[in-house]
A and B are shown apart, each in its own frame.
Chain A
Amino acid sequence: MDTVLFIIFAIVAIVAGFNVVLQRHPISSALSLVGVMGSLAVLYLLLGAEFMAMAQMIVYGGAVMVLFIFVIMLLNAGAEKPSSKAWFAQIAGLPLLLAFIATLGFLIYSALPGLRAVEFGSWTMGTAEEIGKLLFTQYLLPFEVISVLILIAILGAVVLALKEID
């Protein structure tokens, strides 16, 4: 059952991911990205990270992507015309992409020794309780630093918006 769900949603994630790039219209791309987020949330859920899955849906699937779509709708962006590609991109694009992915995969594989097959449901540390404990003990400093960073970003947005109004 878990394996079947994993295969279904992995395929959905990959197809939607390709769709983000292939679609001509920004709204279609943005909604494909929502599809990627949603299927990733299901994959998290399968691995036992229930809190992460819900946070993924609330923050990325909900807030962030709604804002994207809001902006696209507000600007009333139309479908893009495919631009003529450079000859270098046409010839070397696909091989270079494959080489890049292969290098990345090799680096990740060699950096993380002792990888073994995933067993669905064996990991039970993904509850809100466990994540909260870790956030407020072991990872307290990064957590606070990120909070300050987000605060700075908000203040920056306010300053920029005020400049626009004046």
Chain B
Amino acid sequence: MTFFIVTLIKIVIVFAVFMTTLAYLQWIERKVLAHIQSRTGPLRVGPHGLMQPLADVFKLLTKEDVFPPFVNRFFYLLAPFIAVCLALITISIVPFGPEIEVAGVRTYMQIGDVHVGILLVLAITAVSVYGVALAGWSSNNKYSLLGGLRSSAQMISYELPLSLAIVSPLLLANQLSFRAISDSQAGYYLGFIPRWNIFQAPFPQIFAFIIFLIAAFAETNRIPFDLPEAENELVAGFHTEYSSMKFACFFMAEYANIVNITCVATLLFLGAWHPLFPAPYSNWVAPLVLLLAALSCFAQAAQPRRKNDQYTFPLFGVVFLVLTAIFVVAALEIVPVLSTILLSIFWFLAKVGLLIFAFIWVRGTLPRFRYDQLMHFAWTFLFPVSLLNLLITGLLVALFPERI
């Protein structure tokens, strides 16, 4: 019985946080892109534009739901459903921290640990092509069909380097479950080099990480590989004929996929929740970062560039100061459970956040590939390189079976 209650609580927390993240991810993306292009981004709705996601959701909900007359009704409605459902599954097997004990109940900071976790993620990625492909086909529109075709070809091609890049950290960890993979990356070489898989002996997985990231861009249909929805070629690609909530489903699925793939990258290569350097010192990174954020907010407030800055920035500064105080308490380890929860979540979110920032950064700076370049790159460069990386890793793991 306790198991059900604890799981239910965990599901509610993860679901609420995940949904809010998806809504705000779009705000963050618009902000970062705007600052890359010397603009300010959303500013009007709420303090510093923070209510923009809410306004967007409201807009999408109340828009007219256009139903084109010549679509294949069943598949047209099924496609966004498939896309969003499959995108929301992966987060349920992602571990955010170690085993904790709250009020006498021992539990993992994870909804469920699956033995074949990483294979489950691959299976979901493989099946989620149907959402895009069906949307393109059932819309009965040439642009949509081309978008769907491009997407299925691209996702099949890039799944190969993605899977091969995943295999090499699995060889090091000897396990398939996310929890076991994360646990195998705990500890430090010489007391300061973390045993994350990108630094792991005998063969650091830095190449596998880069291959994984490149393939992840293609799998999530992001720039520079966003050919399924290239707007200057295909209007909006596979979701041209979708409006209102059905469009919002695709939108949500896209951002959910970004979060999923960055979570998987963090778990496989960046040591999950394990900090960059050993414990008593790494505890202070979180308060330091938050304090810097608070100070920069106050510095901005001192020279307000817009009318609202005088009261929004001090408010953010105070919020960051409160967070700093909480993390100082966590860093001092006064309540051990609380520090474990907060610090592992901080490190996990920091890594995921950095990767997501990289995704947005790439979107702001790189141009789109041409279709033949895309395929050429996947099959003649990425695939052989990932095979080579796998061969070297396999050889070295076989030569040095004892972990250093």
Q: 13 A-B Cβ contacts within 8 A?
A: A27-B134, A27-B137, A34-B127, A38-B127, A51-B119, A54-B116, A61-B127, A66-B129, A66-B155, A69-B134, A70-B152, A73-B149, A128-B176
Question: What separation, in Å, do the CA atoms of A76 and B148 have in the docked complex?
Answer: 13
Within 8 A of B (CB), among A31-73: 31, 34, 38, 41, 50-51, 53-55, 57-58, 61-63, 66-67, 69-70, 73
B75: chain A residues within 8 A (beta carbon): 27, 31
Interface string of B153-193 (1 = CB under 8 A from A): 10110010000000000000000100000000000000000
A127 at the interface (CB under 8 A from B): yes
Give the interface of A toward B (CB within 8 A). 27, 31, 34, 38, 41, 50-51, 53-55, 57-58, 61-63, 66-67, 69-70, 73-74, 76, 127-128
Nearest residue in A to B133 (C-beta to C-beta)? Answer: A69
A69: chain B residues within 8 A (beta carbon): 130, 133-134, 137, 152
B123 at the interface (CB under 8 A from A): yes
B129: chain A residues within 8 A (beta carbon): 62, 66
Q: How far is the CB of A32 from chain B (nearest CB, A)?
A: 12
| Pair B149/A54 contact, Cβ less than 8 Å | no
| Pair A58/B119 contact, Cβ less than 8 Å | yes
| Pair A54/B145 contact, Cβ less than 8 Å | no
Given contacts A27-B137, A63-B156, are A34 and B123 in contact (CB under 8 A)?
A: no
Nearest residue in B to A70 (C-beta to C-beta)? Answer: B152
| Pair B156/A66 contact, Cβ less than 8 Å | yes
B126 at the interface (CB under 8 A from A): yes
Question: What separation, in Å, do the CA atoms of A51 and B148 have in the docked complex?
Answer: 30
B115 at the interface (CB under 8 A from A): yes
| Pair A57/B123 contact, Cβ less than 8 Å | yes
Q: How far is the CB of B213 from chain A (nearest CB, A)?
A: 21
Is the contact region of chain A dominated by helix, strand, or loop, or is it mixed?
helix
| Pair B152/A58 contact, Cβ less than 8 Å | no
B119: chain A residues within 8 A (beta carbon): 51, 54-55, 58, 128
A67: chain B residues within 8 A (beta carbon): 156
Given contacts A54-B116, A127-B115, are A66 and B123 in contact (CB under 8 A)?
A: no
Which of A41, A61, A62, A73 is most buried by chain B, counting CB atoms within 10 A of its CB? A62
Q: How far is the CB of B4 from chain A (nearest CB, A)?
A: 13
B120 at the interface (CB under 8 A from A): yes
Given contacts A69-B152, A70-B133, are A61 and B123 in contact (CB under 8 A)?
A: yes
Given contacts A27-B137, A66-B152, A128-B116, are A34 and B130 in contact (CB under 8 A)?
A: yes
Nearest residue in A to B126 (C-beta to C-beta)? Answer: A62
Question: What separation, in Å, do the CA atoms of A43 and B123 have in the docked complex?
Answer: 16
Is the contact region of chain B dominated by helix, strand, or loop, or is it mixed?
helix
Which of B127, B134, B136 is most buried by chain A, counting CB atoms within 10 A of its CB? B127
Q: How far is the CB of A36 from chain B (nearest CB, A)?
A: 14
Interface string of B306-340 (1 = CB under 8 A from A): 00000000000000000000000000000000000
Q: How far is the CB of A63 from chain B (nearest CB, A)?
A: 6
Question: What separation, in Å, do the CA atoms of A128 and B118 have in the docked complex?
Answer: 12
Q: How far is the CB of A141 from chain B (nearest CB, A)?
A: 21
| Pair A62/B115 contact, Cβ less than 8 Å | no
B276: chain A residues within 8 A (beta carbon): none
Q: How far is the CB of B160 from chain A (nearest CB, A)?
A: 9
Interface string of B242-277 (1 = CB under 8 A from A): 000000000000000000000000000000000000
Q: How far is the CB of B129 from chain A (nearest CB, A)?
A: 5
Given contacts A66-B152, A70-B149, A73-B149, are A54 and B120 in contact (CB under 8 A)?
A: yes
Q: How far is the CB of B32 from chain A (nearest CB, A)?
A: 33
A74: chain B residues within 8 A (beta carbon): 149
Question: What separation, in Å, do the CA atoms of A126 and B120 have in the docked complex?
Answer: 15
B122 at the interface (CB under 8 A from A): yes
Q: How far is the CB of B321 from chain A (nearest CB, A)?
A: 47
Question: What separation, in Å, do the CA atoms of A38 and B127 have in the docked complex?
Answer: 10
Q: How far is the CB of A156 from chain B (nearest CB, A)?
A: 18
A70: chain B residues within 8 A (beta carbon): 133, 149, 152-153, 156
B145: chain A residues within 8 A (beta carbon): 73, 76
A128: chain B residues within 8 A (beta carbon): 116, 119, 176
Question: What separation, in Å, do the CA atoms of A51 and B123 have in the docked complex?
Answer: 11
A31: chain B residues within 8 A (beta carbon): 75, 130, 134
From the candidates A27, A50, A55, A57, name the one contacting B127 in the complex (CB within 8 A). A57
Which of A53, A58, A74, A76 is most buried by chain B, counting CB atoms within 10 A of its CB? A58
Question: What separation, in Å, do the CA atoms of A38 and B89 have in the docked complex?
Answer: 15
